[in-house]
């Protein structure tokens, strides 16, 4: 498959999840953290309204932290939310 240099790369590895003692962290790529900080803020607002998200914290636009369990359902819902928000970047 040929890539077009004028097109951004597919939305892969832009969200990374890390399980921590007592919770989890969501890490955003520079492409999101630096180019779309408004969407990181909107994501934090969206996450606060989700069941099971406790004590959501944000140090900067690169990381969100929360207490509790990151369920598969929440993870998949979050990925779907980002795909919708960044449909202009997402390929595949």
* Domains and their CATH numbers in the chain: 15-85 (3.30.1360.40)
Strand runs labelled E in 9-67 = 15-20, 23-28, 54-60, 63-67
Full-model pTM:
0.80
* CA atoms of 21 and 50, how far apart (whole Å): 20
The string of pLDDT tens digits covering residues 6-51 is 555 555 678 999 999 999 999 999 989 999 999 999 999 999 999 8
The string of pLDDT tens digits covering residues 51-77 is 889 999 998 999 999 999 999 999 999
Return the pLDDT at 92: 46
Looking at residues 67-92, what average pLDDT do you find? 85
């Amino acid at each position: 498959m040929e890539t077009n240099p004028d097109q951004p790369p597919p939305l892969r590895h832009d969200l990374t999840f890390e399980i921590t003692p007592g919770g989890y962290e969501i890490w955003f790529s520079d492409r999101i953290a630096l180019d779309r900080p408004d969407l990181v803020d909107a994501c934090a607002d969206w996450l606060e309204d989700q069941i099971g998200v406790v004590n959501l914290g944000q140090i900067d636009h690169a990381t969100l932290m929360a207490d509790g369990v990151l369920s598969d359902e929440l993870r998949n819902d979050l990925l779907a939310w980002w795909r919708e928000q960044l449909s202009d970047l997402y390929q595949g």
